[in-house]
Amino acid sequence: MEPVVPGVKIIVAVARNRVIGRDGRLPWKIPEDWNHFLESTRGGSLVLGRRCFEELVDTGALKDGTRRVFIVSTTRSGPDCFPDFPSALEAAKRAGRTIWICGGERIYAEAMPVADELILTLVDADFDGDTRFPEWSGEFTNLHSERASRHGSIPLYFRVYRRRERFSRAECV
Ligand SMILES: NC(=O)c1ccc[n+]([C@@H]2O[C@H](COP(=O)([O-])OP(=O)(O)OC[C@H]3O[C@@H](n4cnc5c(N)ncnc54)[C@H](OP(=O)(O)O)[C@@H]3O)[C@@H](O)[C@H]2O)c1
């Protein structure tokens, strides 16, 4: 079993049907959630797939220069690029900042066993899309906090999950 790494947080906005993306973009425009993403990740290290990186560049989210990026890609090269998730994560750990796992689908799946927190916005409606967030309830059962809001008619839930304890005391003895 992979060790959990303190300070590694998954951040995602997910629809009720687990859709997170469509045609390389978010399936929605929800300013409150976008600001939540920007505020949360400011000053941190972002580990993300190539398409997510390109999307963030397009939005201008990296322009303030406060975030470091660790891009997982087999086609890009450069000091910020890594050929697989474990090597990107190792490099991010050395940077000594909070690590934010920012997707996409494969990156989230690989990070699920090692992250210690899940910062999840539930966009409580079904959306069409081509990218999904993995099932998380097996790893993150401990709902630490929740704040409810709305985007028009769509309820939003800003949640923080902590990792499920892997062993109970009884199982350890
Ligand atoms: N709702 C949300 O919170 C949220 C968050 C993140 C993303 N999204 C959405 O999700 C979509 C993007 O996600 P995506 O899954 O399509 O793309 P992605 O993971 O950002 O990018 C895919 C590319 O990243 C590289 N990559 C990813 N995992 C890899 C691995 N394990 N090993 C080696 N390379 C890897 C590969 O790049 P190369 O081709 O260069 O090898 C792959 O083609 C967009 O629609 C975006 O808006 C939504």
pLDDT tens, residue by residue, 66-85:
999 999 999 999 999 999 99
Taking the domain 8-165, which CATH number applies? 3.40.430.10
> What are 134-167's pLDDT values in tens digits?
999 888 989 999 999 999 999 999 999 998 666 5
What is the band of 3 on the pLDDT scale with cuts at 50, 70, 90? Answer: confident
Ligand 1 atom 15, closest CA: 104
**18-31 confidence digits (pLDDT tens):** 999 999 999 999 99
Q: Which residues form the pocket of ligand 1, taking CB atoms under 6 Å from any ligand atom? A: 12-13, 20-22, 24-26, 48-52, 55, 72-76, 84-85, 102-107, 110, 131
Decide if pLDDT at 129 tops 60: yes
Question: pTM value?
Answer: 0.94
In this predicted model, what pLDDT tens digit does every residue of 81-118 receive, in sequence order?
999 999 999 999 999 999 999 999 999 999 999 999 99
**Nearest atom of ligand 1 to the alpha carbon of 20:** 1
| Residue among 130, 148, 154, 158 nearest 27 (CA) | 130
Q: How confident is the model at residue 133 (pLDDT cuts 50, 70, 90)?
A: very high
pLDDT of residue 165: 66
Mean pLDDT of the chain: 93
| pLDDT of the residue at 168 | 45
pLDDT of residue 167: 54
Average pLDDT, integer, range 52-71: 96
| Nearest atom (ligand 1) to Cα of 23 | 45
- Ligand 1 centre and the CA of 170: distance in Å? 40
Specify the pLDDT at position 9: 97
Of 73, 75, 114, which is best to mutate to test ligand 1, by the most ligand atoms within 8 angstroms of its C-beta? 73
pLDDT at 39 over 90: yes
Q: Separation of 156 CA from ligand 1 center, angstroms?
A: 24
| Ligand 1 center to 38 CA (angstroms) | 19
Residue 57 has pLDDT above 50, yes or no: yes
